[in-house]
Chain A
Amino acid sequence: MNFNLSPNLSQKIAYTLLAMATIIVIVPVLTVIVIIIKNGWSVLSWEFLTTMPTDGMRAGGILPAIIGTLAIVSCAICITLPVGVCAAIYLNEYAKDNLLTRIIKLAIVNLAGIPSVVYGLFGLGIFVMLLGFGVSIIAGALTLSIMELPVIITTAQGALKSVPYQFREASWSLGVSKWQTIRRVVLPNALPGIMTGAILSISRISGETAPILFTAAAFYVPHLPQSLFDQVMALPYHLYIISTQIPNMPKNIIFATALVLLLMVLSMSLIAIIARLYFRKIRKW
């Protein structure tokens, strides 16, 4: 500052500005949540969660969308979790500091940065068309599992890293092989961290729309899914179509759908945060 302000005065001004910026950041988050709860709460009921939509989705419940999202997401996490954890084990326990490892790390960073809609394109090209799965739960789940892979790898690696090196040395000195040490000593101790990461991933992919847009989601299906190769309705996609494509859609149903999605996503984030605090407390080292 060139005009002569005393250091104390400029400090006061700067602090005020920083505090104001923080308020500007925080208030809209809370506003969004309050708006959704206020407008959606009145429609939310057991019936809304457990019945089929009727009248061109302008009335009735959202059961098929909830079931569809649960199906896609649980499939996706079952695929991505073992692969991601194995990749993290490789990086943390086996990989040497060489060119290959550096390329793997670069690949993970870039995988994490690819836009979700590009994953949707890829899933459409590979799973729906090339492998012939069609628009289905399995195609959507595979697409989401690739998208979530870098996040799972990174969090699992963090969990493995937090297991003290002495644990491994103690096990090796008893003559236990490297893999047995990982399985019996390292993995059990890293499990809480891995699970927390997995729950956060489930929360994140539950809200994703773009990757399932052309790989799994259907505008409307009059029955619940029967197999992994069925098209399904999904909650985020359902929210997108009822808020943009359907004329005369009652606003409170849209808000209630948004509220269900939000509750689903936030409750899982909350579980993960609480679990993290709990495991940190009871940790033995």
Chain B
Amino acid sequence: MKNRITDYIIEKIIFLCGIIAIVFVILIFGFLLKEGFAFFKEYGLFSFIFGKYWYPSSNPASYGVFSLIIGSLLVTLGATLIAVPLGVATALFISELAPKGIRDILKSIVELMAAIPSVVLGFVGMVTLVPLVRSVLDIPTGLTAFSGSIVLGFMALPTIVSISEDAIRSVPWQYKEGAYALGATKWQTIRRIVLRAAMPGIIAAVMLGIGRVIGETMAVLMVTGNATAIPTSIFDPVRTLTATIAAEMGETVRGGLHYRALFAIGLVLFSITFMINFIADLFLNKNTKKR
């Protein structure tokens, strides 16, 4: 009898832990919403989203998030353009072409890359890449959206490579045999059959990579120059949504308008990444259901 009671209690505890993920998602969203709404009420949703200037310390302060969104999009776009072709090509090389011994080494190196903390990459980018960008392109500062794109592109690579590689490897071998039987070369098979069959998984990989790039904070804070003006080209300094929160939260008055404005930015980030992950999840499910 005593056993049955402990079993019952333990199973209830396990159930509570099971639903805790839901609780936290709701708590986080609710909290951002609460602080964000308090801010919108005081400052206005429209002037927040479409306001061009983010000058929290001027008088009167202005909290236009538009330039920060542009900054985030610019860096993300650059990083995606770098990471997607390189990542998919590497995934193809690892899963289809590399000899078995090399394959494991390459996979470990990609895993190694995912393990390097972003603040370390930010620092190395600051002392090597930033001066290089400045001298090669002959621009006044190397702290630009371009440098940020390169660093972030490399941070997105492990995600893109490993998830695409899974998708490519899970293409049934019968597909390939069929193509070979028709006289296709190995490359024709990869390009026309394997890539196409693995496409949902590759799209999911790209989405998750983009999600990682948008949310990345420390490296981007250290190499993009933190200028809150709207950039005119990718070689201008920019500031992203994440970097703004990280750079300014320390100097705000807790509970003040500036503090709440940063929570409103958090709400914007939460919504963007929520959508991206939702879409990625749809594609991942599509990939597994087909088999």
User: Interface on A for B, CB 8 Å cutoff?
Assistant: 7-8, 10-11, 14-15, 17-19, 21-22, 24-26, 28-30, 32-33, 35-36, 83-84, 86-87, 89-91, 94-95, 100, 103-104, 106-122, 124-126, 129, 146, 149-150, 153, 177-180, 203-204, 206-210, 213-214, 236-237, 239-240, 243-244, 251, 254, 258, 261-262, 265-266, 269, 273
Contacts and interface: CB of A to CB of B under 8 A. Distances in A.
B142 interface: no
12 contacts: A7-B188, A18-B97, A86-B18, A87-B18, A89-B14, A90-B17, A118-B269, A122-B31, A125-B35, A178-B11, A208-B117, A240-B123
What are the 7 tightest A-B residue pairs by CB atom distance, in nearest-first order? A207-B117, A115-B215, A90-B18, A86-B17, A21-B89, A113-B277, A11-B187
Interface string B185-222: 11110110000000000000000100100111110001
B128 A35 contact: yes
Contact of A236 (B35, B106, B119, B216): B119
A239 B120 contact: yes
Nearest to A84: B17
Contacts of A179: 7, 10-11
Nearest to A27: B109
B146 interface: no
B127 interface: yes
B126 interface: yes
A8 B249 contact: no
B238 interface: no
A132 B42 CA distance: 26
A263 to B, nearest CB: 11
B106 to A, nearest CB: 7
B21 interface: yes
A18 B89 contact: yes
Contacts of A116: 215, 217
B46 interface: no
Contacts of B89: 17-18, 21-22
B154 A239 contact: no
Contacts of A124: 249
A46 to B, nearest CB: 22
Contact of B108 (A11, A150, A273): A273
Contacts of B215: 113-118
Interface in B58-84: none
Nearest to A35: B124
B259 to A, nearest CB: 9
Nearest to A124: B249
Nearest to B128: A35
Find the residue from B19, B20, B111 having the highest chain A CB count within 10 A. Answer: B20
Contacts of A177: 3-4, 7
B115 A113 contact: no
Find the residue from A94, A110, A122 having the highest chain B CB count within 10 A. Answer: A110
A168 B30 CA distance: 40
Contacts of A21: 85-86, 89-90, 93
A257 B99 CA distance: 37
B93 A258 contact: no
Contact of A115 (B19, B90, B113, B273): B273
B120 A36 contact: yes
A203 B115 contact: yes
A24 to B, nearest CB: 6
A115 B76 CA distance: 14
A14 B92 CA distance: 11
Contacts of A112: 277
B6 to A, nearest CB: 8
Contacts of A129: 254-255
B121 A32 contact: yes
Contact of A7 (B21, B97, B185, B211): B185
B25 interface: yes
B45 to A, nearest CB: 19
A117 B221 CA distance: 12
A22 B106 contact: yes
Given A25-B86, A107-B21, A94 B11 contact: yes
